[in-house]
Amino acid sequence: MTVDQVIFLGQKMLEVALIVGAPVLIITFIVGIVVSIFQAATQIHEMTLTFIPKILAALVSIFVFGGWMFMKLLEYTKENFHYLLQMVR
């Protein structure tokens, strides 16, 4: 295995991780901002108030995007096995 092949596999891994994790991270980020604005407007500064909406948003986004995330990971795994078989030959 050459250095170029290792870099290619690492780059592909990071791309897939970013693509798969992005929906959950973006949605929880938006929910966090909305809750922070609500806290600033009402001057309720309870630290635990931010966690429950974020957790619920993450669960809902995993439920909504879970199938798509699983298919992306499955495609990535198939590509890796195909690529590794080509390298062995």
Report the sign of the C-alpha dihedral through residues 23, 28, 33, 38, in that order: positive
Per-residue confidence (pLDDT) for residue 54, from 0 to 100: 93
> CA-to-CA distance for 1 and 10, rounded, in angstroms?
13
pLDDT single digits (tens) 2-43: 888 889 999 999 999 999 999 999 999 999 999 999 988 988
Whether pLDDT at 1 is above 80? no
Q: Which residue has the tokens 């669960």?
A: 59
Residue ranges with strand state E in 1-89:
none
Per-residue confidence (pLDDT) for residue 87, from 0 to 100: 81
- The domain locations on the chain are 3-88
Whether pLDDT at 46 is above 90? no
pTM, full prediction: 0.81
Q: Which residue has the tokens 């619920």?
A: 56
pLDDT mean across residues, the chain:
92
